Amino acid sequence: MIRILAALFANGITLVTRLITAVQGRWIGCGPAPAQRIYYANHVSHGDIVLIWTVLAPALRKMTRPVAGADYWLKGRLRRFIATDVFRAVLIDRERSQPGRSPLAAMAKAVDEGASLIVFPEGTRNMTDAPLLPFKGGIYHLARRKPDVELVPVWIANLNRVLPKGEIVPIPLLCSVTFGTPLKLQTNETRADFVARARAELLSLAPDTPRAAEPNR
């Protein structure tokens, strides 16, 4: 029964998301292949997960799990249901209230089980005027632990205007999700160099750059 309800809820979420945002998925650096990947994206709204998930083909959705903060998604029965049963999220303890539970271990375990991941290297929502907050080191450690899995930069455009912080009623606006060129950790690449390279690749997909205007694949 829970599985049926989760499937119906998933279909409803994607339908409503498309109606409100008319979201477009732009694959300019890679194609929507059924490969195991780590999608890393800018973070401007709690709806980021929904937008990325919506533009993925059904087969990709089934194998893709977002990484999200347990402190937010486990508050209330509805949020818990959406996180655990609809998105099958990898919920991590951002507060580190249980020192023995490593967020990296939880993500690596999901990858070992065959899942692709959606991660947000900024670590929190960007509420500033800067296009991106500094990246946390987790993306480097994940790339180091899973060197054979592609990391795909994903730029989410306009969603922060659809649902600004503190608002509960979305404003219908066109949104896009742009997928860039996959990257992997290079031999002997330092944490600082890798984080800088990954961040630059993500920034290059922002709407005001020529790359993001290329036609879909």
pLDDT of residue 216: 40
Region 114-143 average pLDDT: 92
Q: How confident is the model at residue 169 (pLDDT cuts 50, 70, 90)?
A: low
Q: Poorest-confidence range of 76-80, 164-168, 186-190?
A: 164-168
Residue of 178, 213, 184, 197 whose CA lies nearest to 42? 178
Res 198: pLDDT: 97
Query: Does the structure show a pLDDT above 70 at 53?
Result: yes
pLDDT interval class at 209 (50, 70, 90): low
Both tokens of 176, joined, read 């896009």
Q: Which domains does the chain have, with CATH numbers?
A: 2-213 (3.40.1130.10)
Confidence of residue 214 (pLDDT cuts 50, 70, 90): very low
Angle at 215 between CA 211 and CA 157, to 5 degrees: 60
- State residue 210's pLDDT score: 46
Is a pLDDT exceeding 80 seen at residue 208?
Answer: no
Categorize the per-residue pLDDT at 24 as very low, low, confident or very high, splitting at 50, 70 and 90.
very high
Nearest to 154 by CA among 60, 45, 52: 52
Digit-coded pLDDT (tens) for 91-104: 998 766 666 568 89
Q: What are phi and psi of 95, to 5 degrees?
A: -85, -10
Give the integer Cα–Cα distance in Å for 35 and 89.
Answer: 19
Give the confidence band of 125 by pLDDT, cuts at 50, 70, 90.
Answer: confident
- Average pLDDT on 19-40 reads 94
Q: In this structure, what is the dihedral angle of CA atoms 173, 174, 180, 185, given to the nearest 10 degrees?
A: 20
Q: Which residue has the higher pLDDT, 174 or 122?
A: 122
92: its two tokens: 């991590």
Which one has a higher pLDDT value, 89 or 214?
Answer: 89
